[in-house]
Chains A and B, each alone.
Chain A
Amino acid sequence: MDAVFEALLNTLGWYNILIIFIGAFAGIIVGCIPGFNASVGVALTIPLTFSFPPDTGLILLVSIYAGAIYGGSIAAILINTPGEPGNIITAMDGYNMTKQGLGSKALGMAAIASWIGGTISAIFLFLVAPPLSKITLMFGPFEMFLLAIFGLSLIVGLSKESLVKGLISGGLGVLFATVGIDTITGTYRYTFETPALYQGISLVGLVIGLYSLGAVFELAETKSSTIQTDGIKIDRKHLLPTWKDIKKTYKTIIRSGVIGTFAGITPGAGMSIGSAISWDVARRGSKNPDNFGKGEIEGLAASESGNNGVVGGSLIPLITLGIPGNSVSAIFLGGLLIHGLRPGAELFTTHATVTYGLIWGFVFANFVMIIIGLSASRFFAKLAVIPVYILAPLIFVISTAGTLADRNLIFDVAIMLAFGILGYFLIKVGIPLVPLVLGFILGPIAESEMRRALLITQGDVTPYLTEPIAILLIVLIILSLFGTQLKDLITTMFGRKKEN
């Protein structure tokens, strides 16, 4: 409890409050711009956090993350262009409200719902994360190895394209992570006698290359030069929803915040699912279900509260077990590890002040978000129509400067470019990028734990296979990878039995 209050006082320092303002503001900008998203924003910010102490750095990252998710709603409401995948549902009701001349009200409701949804998930973070983190104390090296593989398998198992492509992507990430000096034996692995590779491939270069350069190529290939916003007027007087609107939507907002939090806790579910489920539940319970998708304020509130609830929810498995629920939290995990913070019980004991600082930062970022959102929506809406010929090269230059911030090596910028090109081709053939990033982050953890486990038993794995936690994790890995196939098999078998 002392750490919670110590972290609160630390977060309330003028410097951290300023960082929260900057982070939330930058996050909203990132979320507003189509083609830019929370993953790109967090990836580009990681190198900047080196200049700060760990708590301030993480507060900046979480503020960007929260701001970007809300920012996506502005473009979705005003120009029917979801800045984030989680804002697709928002666009249905939000944009229709704009067309009806209720753009101001839609923006106001989105800001309030986002704030409440995010705050609900922060409460869950405070309550659920510390006890959950104690589970890791029961884990030995072999269980930790399996946990890392489980984290990777969850993302791979949810690969929309195909399981094989997801596994290939994860495998590539793990393989790239083996480059550098082996920490156990001191062996130089795949370094080509290049000093820049002794410490391995730069995580920052890899992540920025895959995500930010991916955005550059995507923008450069878009057919349209910009999206016009003619005729959209934001009336500041009507930004705040009326008492009647609040009365109508408050239950939906609270319920959607909880749904979003659980969607965030569930790895792979993500913003889209969080907002879609929230919207659907709200529609089913509404007196006017037919209005949903046509400009219903309750639908907008449900979607926005739901997708912001996902943010805090996704941080729960991340900081307790090291399992990222989506691509943004996978990059966030990289940010934690760069600052020497490893998920698990240690985050709530040795580094408790930093961890609770991160959670408080998230609480205040949500609050700051609503202030900025309500006061500067008109300005943000204009950002969404920056011509792509301006945006694409600017992202490349920021990416270059951001990569240089890591180790100040041009070699890392070359690595960034190489991964940008690799990512472009992988996307073209339908190989997802998230497992690659996750494999790169979790690979070293998996390797060191596996080798530690083998050292203890002198290379024999069998003693571990009788441990209940290990058995449970192996079952979970199999289910996460082959769950769909197993379900189909069972359905087919039972279907045949019924027919017979």
Chain B
Amino acid sequence: MQFVTIIFIYILSGYFYFEASGFRENAGIFPEMVSLILLVLNTIYLFQELKEKRKISKNNSGKSTIVKPTKQFYVITIASIGYVALLNVIGFLILTPMYLALIMFYLGGKRKKVIFPIVIVFTFAVYISFSSLLNISIPQGIIFNL
């Protein structure tokens, strides 16, 4: 996981650096400077991690302290990506109760009598608070816009 992070930082700062070199006037000077510093720091971080890995394998002291992402993380992430992608299409009032119920049951909720009222009341409470009281436009979806 550390090495995935290191590769990600290399790609990100490398992209920022090369892109900045094409900016006109001096618009690229600051991002160039920061991404260069980041590339150097990331290299130090890489060496630190390699040293740590060597130490662990030398001592046979077993595992790294880093905990891998759990199944819950992946499920919630996928469900949340779906929720965000469909929010404008289906709308807040329909999609939110579906999302809430799905995650609540997945995380161990069993009692429908508890979950459904919470889901419905909460959805309406958020909708009314944001749209009516704070004048914030909450996605209506295609159905409500017909």
In the complex, which of the residues A162, A390, A394, A413 has the most CB atoms of chain B within 10 Å of its own CB atom? A390
Let me know if B107 and A389 touch, CB within 8 A.
yes
- Picked from B12, B25, B92, B103, the residue with its CB within 8 Å of the CB of A393 is B103
Interface 0/1 of A409-423, CB less than 8 Å to B: 010011001001100
Interface size for chain B: under 10, 10 to 19, 20 to 34, or 35 or more residues? 35 or more
B118 touches A (CB below 8 Å): yes
- Picked from B28, B67, B134, the residue with its CB within 8 Å of the CB of A51 is B134
Let me know if A425 and B80 touch, CB within 8 A.
no
B94 touches A (CB below 8 Å): no
Interface 0/1 of A171-192, CB less than 8 Å to B: 1101100100010110101100
A398 touches B (CB below 8 Å): yes
Chain B contact residues: helix, strand, loop or mixed: helix
- Picked from A216, A397, A429, A454, the residue with its CB within 8 Å of the CB of B126 is A397
Could you say which residues of chain B place their CB within 8 Å of the CB of A48? Answer: 134
A428 touches B (CB below 8 Å): yes
Let me know if B122 and A428 touch, CB within 8 A.
no
- Picked from A167, A190, A390, the residue with its CB within 8 Å of the CB of B118 is A390
Let me know if B26 and A451 touch, CB within 8 A.
yes
Could you say which residues of chain A place their CB within 8 Å of the CB of B29? Answer: 451
- Picked from A190, A389, A425, A450, the residue with its CB within 8 Å of the CB of B16 is A190
Let me know if A172 and B38 touch, CB within 8 A.
yes
Could you say which residues of chain A place their CB within 8 Å of the CB of B27? Answer: 182, 184-185, 187, 189
Let me know if A164 and B45 touch, CB within 8 A.
yes
Interchain CA distance A36-B94 in the complex, whole Å: 27
B61 touches A (CB below 8 Å): no
Instruction: Name the distance in Å between A149's Cβ and chain B's nearest Cβ.
Output: 11
Let me know if B104 and A390 touch, CB within 8 A.
yes
Instruction: Name the distance in Å between B61's Cβ and chain A's nearest Cβ.
Output: 18
Could you say which residues of chain B place their CB within 8 Å of the CB of A394? Answer: 100, 122
B116 touches A (CB below 8 Å): no
Interchain CA distance A428-B23 in the complex, whole Å: 35
A225 touches B (CB below 8 Å): yes
Let me know if B96 and A447 touch, CB within 8 A.
no
Interchain CA distance A167-B30 in the complex, whole Å: 16
- Picked from A51, A425, A446, the residue with its CB within 8 Å of the CB of B1 is A425
Flag the segment in A5-13, A302-310, A399-407 that touches B.
A399-407
Let me know if B1 and A428 touch, CB within 8 A.
yes
Interchain CA distance A466-B139 in the complex, whole Å: 56
Which residues of A (349-401) have their CB < 8 Å from a CB of B? 387-390, 392-394, 396-398, 400-401
Interchain CA distance A182-B77 in the complex, whole Å: 33
Let me know if B25 and A187 touch, CB within 8 A.
yes
Interchain CA distance A167-B41 in the complex, whole Å: 8
Instruction: Name the distance in Å between A427's Cβ and chain B's nearest Cβ.
Output: 10
- Picked from B13, B23, B136, the residue with its CB within 8 Å of the CB of A405 is B136
Interchain CA distance A430-B84 in the complex, whole Å: 28
Let me know if A178 and B34 touch, CB within 8 A.
yes
Instruction: Name the distance in Å between B90's Cβ and chain A's nearest Cβ.
Output: 12
Could you say which residues of chain A place their CB within 8 Å of the CB of B118? Answer: 390
Which residues of B (50-105) have their CB < 8 Å from a CB of A? 66-70, 72-73, 76-77, 80-81, 83-84, 87-88, 92, 96, 99-100, 103-104
Interchain CA distance A389-B135 in the complex, whole Å: 30
Let me know if A392 and B9 touch, CB within 8 A.
no
Interchain CA distance A187-B5 in the complex, whole Å: 30
Let me know if A450 and B87 touch, CB within 8 A.
no
Let me know if A221 and B13 touch, CB within 8 A.
no
Let me know if B44 and A164 touch, CB within 8 A.
yes
Interchain CA distance A162-B25 in the complex, whole Å: 36
Could you say which residues of chain B place their CB within 8 Å of the CB of A240? Answer: none
Instruction: Name the distance in Å between B65's Cβ and chain A's nearest Cβ.
Output: 8
Could you say which residues of chain B place their CB within 8 Å of the CB of A178? Answer: 16, 20, 30-31, 34
Report the nearest A residue to B87, measured CB to CB: A410
Interchain CA distance A109-B4 in the complex, whole Å: 49
Report the nearest B residue to A402, measured CB to CB: B130
Let me know if B48 and A413 touch, CB within 8 A.
no
Interchain CA distance A185-B27 in the complex, whole Å: 7
Let me know if A429 and B66 touch, CB within 8 A.
yes
Top 3 nearest A-B pairs by Cβ distance? A389-B107, A187-B27, A393-B103
Sample of 6 further A-B pairs with CB below 8 A, known A398-B126, A425-B4: A175-B12, A225-B108, A393-B99, A424-B69, A425-B1, A425-B5
Q: What are 13 A-B pairs at a CB distance below 8 A?
A: A164-B44, A167-B41, A171-B41, A189-B19, A189-B28, A220-B70, A221-B73, A392-B76, A398-B126, A401-B138, A428-B69, A451-B29, A454-B26
